[in-house]
Amino acid sequence: VMTQSKLSAFFRSS
Amino acid sequence: MFEARLTEGSLLKKIIEAIKDLVQEANVDCSEEGLTMQAMDASHVSLCSLNMRHGGFDHYRCDRSISLGLNLANLGKILKCAGNDDVVTLKAEDEPDTLTLMFESPNQERISDFELKLMDIETEHLGIPNEEYKCTISMPSGEFQRIVRDLAVIGETCIITCTKEGVKFSVSGDLGNGNVTVRQSSAADGDEKDQVKIQMEEPVTLNFALRYLGFFTKATPLGSTVKLHMSPDVPIVVEYPIDGIGSISYFLAPKIDE
């Protein structure tokens, strides 16, 4: 099953 | 005092058209260097980053850095009041409640001004590392738009595979499946802007939602070329250079097999 990842999994809040 | 004048006012129309379906509200940051904007879609799956250098404007003045909280749909409505050949000037005070937009027809026979109310928008700002991508594909923006539009009819997810030979876009759905491969142009092939160029350190395969790629292709009128930057297991960057002024880049998180 393909799951849509979120950007927060890759980029940190600044 | 902030003041920015664009002779090619239609550029601003195209930029807002390229963003407003993905992002409803955004802060546009104005500084001495120019305008920047970073905003995520409501589900935080994609991000749009706009960069317009001060040198790309015909006149640019920004005494103090300010942030303009904009409802992009409303800004789009006001920009619809500008003629395609109009010169557009943006103005705001140092602590603005409104953004003034002035439109001048080329012969100066018609001058209009509008004020757009600004909003307080709380946004999450993401730090995006300035990384080297394993694959960078440069291709005609119209070709990319066509592929995304065609494949979206068949399924929801697009597998993008980049190798030295070319880029393969694959989709599968209830009715069947399909692949489109664009091959690297040979040096002798026609116009620079029609070429497909691939810079690759290692092959990359990633899965993306076609719905979001479709939103990104709203930027197609901004330029003849699009660049796709990909590395394994990280968001794709879909970058549209805007001639002489900057770029609009979209980041999209991949779909992951669990």
pLDDT tens digits for range B170-180: 999 999 999 99
d(CA B246, CA B244): 6
Nearest to B4 by CA among B68, B76, B58, B50: B58
pLDDT at B246 over 90: yes
Residue among A8, A10, A12 with most chain B CBs within 10 A, to mutate: A10
Nearest residue on chain A to B211, alpha-carbon basis: A4
Smallest CA–CA distance, residue B44 to chain A, in Å, is 6
> Which tens digit of pLDDT belongs to each residue from B100-110?
999 999 999 99
State residue B185's pLDDT score. 85
Band (B89; pLDDT cuts 50, 70, 90):
very high
Q: What 3 state SS string does chain B have?
A: CEEEEECCCHHHHHHHHHHCCCCCEEEEEEECCEEEEEEECCCCCEEEEEEEEHHHCCEEEECCCEEEEEEHHHHHHHHCCCCCCCEEEEEECCCCCEEEEEEECCCCCCEEEEEEECCCCCCCCEECCCCCCCEEEEEEHHHHHHHHHHHHCCCCEEEEEECCCEEEEEEEECCEEEEEEEECCCCCCCCHHHCCEEEECCCEEEEEEHHHHHHHHHHHHHCCEEEEEECCCCCEEEEEEECCCEEEEEEECCEEEC
Query: Taking CB atoms and an 8 Å limit, are A13 and B126 in contact across chains?
Result: yes
CB-nearest to A7 from B47, B207, B256 is B47
Bigger pLDDT: B193 vs B138: B138
Mean pLDDT of chain B: 95
State residue B130's pLDDT score. 87
Query: Taking CB atoms and an 8 Å limit, are B45 and A1 in contact across chains?
Result: no
Smallest CA–CA distance, residue B87 to chain A, in Å, is 36
pLDDT at B211 over 70: yes
State residue B189's pLDDT score. 67
What the block records as the tokens of B69 is 């909280």
End-to-end CA distance of chain A: 32
Is residue B254 within 8 A of residue B208, CB to CB? The reply is: yes
pLDDT at B182 over 80: yes
> Which tens digit of pLDDT belongs to each residue from B70-79?
999 999 999 9
> Which tens digit of pLDDT belongs to each residue from B15-65?
999 999 999 999 999 999 999 999 999 999 999 999 999 999 999 999 999
> Which tens digit of pLDDT belongs to each residue from A1-14?
789 999 999 998 87
Smallest CA–CA distance, residue A7 to chain B, in Å, is 5
